[in-house]
Amino acid sequence: MPSQEESARQFDAWAAGYDDAVQGEAGFPFVGYAQVLGEIVRLCAPQPGDLVVDMGTGTGELVKLLVDEGCEVWGVDFSQKMLAEAEKKVPRARWVRADLAAGWPAELPDNVHCVVSSYALHHFPLDEKVRLIALWFEHVGPGGAVIVGDISFSTAQERAAARRRWRELWDDEEFYWVAQEALPALYAAGLHTVYTQISICAGVFTVRTRANPLGR
């Protein structure tokens, strides 16, 4: 797994062509990309003035959709060049350069309506995914949610089939989600999570309430 510095350099190099790579007729792993972002916005149910944070914002495509709904949005990413592309696209948003793994940046507000993330957490193993989502949920206000769209599969069998189908494109250094593994881990961390498969290789996880794994 590359270091954060190496990853940031890779995304800096990809920034100018990122939107072309993930939109239009993109194949694996971005099949259904626009639908995933649309589902995140739908589940967020944004109202004008809502505070929203986008973790791993990339070039700000999800931020743009939320700003168009009247939200006040902060986009967080570790790639300076990705953020530069995002700021050109959505000058009304606020941008924070930070490593997602380092915690909640001091520049961000608290008690936000939603924390959203798209195509970012597959870079982290499952235990780190759970840690980050739990941390983000601590900063969500009443009635809000953490909503994550990413490369994901309902079962391990579906992921294995996808790996065979897209062998030349598959990245064995990534940690693509499997819902049947992730949901119990999230629940054990006290996060009641709902999963929706959107495309053949992507889905959305939504956390709105605390789970009570001890049944108390």
Q: Concatenated DSSP letters for 90-106?
A: -TTSEEEE--GGG-S-T
Backbone angles phi, psi at 134, to 5 degrees: -60, -40
Q: Summarize the confidence of residues 130-155 as an average pLDDT.
A: 97
Q: Read off the pLDDT of residues 33-84 as tens digits, 9 standing for 90 and up.
A: 999 999 999 999 999 999 999 999 999 999 999 999 999 999 999 999 999 9
Asked whether residue 104 carries a pLDDT value surpassing 90, the answer given is: yes
pLDDT value of residue 58: 93
Asked whether residue 169 carries a pLDDT value surpassing 80, the answer given is: yes
When pLDDT is cut at 50, 70 and 90, the band that residue 183 belongs to is very high
Q: Enter the tokens of residue 154.
A: 């309902």
pLDDT value of residue 14: 46
Asked whether residue 134 carries a pLDDT value surpassing 80, the answer given is: yes
Domains plus CATH for the chain?
4-17+31-210 (3.40.50.150)
Asked whether residue 216 carries a pLDDT value surpassing 50, the answer given is: no
pLDDT value of residue 42: 98
How crowded is the C-beta side of 201, counted as CA atoms within 13 Å? 22
Q: Enter the tokens of residue 138.
A: 């601590």
Asked whether residue 117 carries a pLDDT value surpassing 60, the answer given is: yes
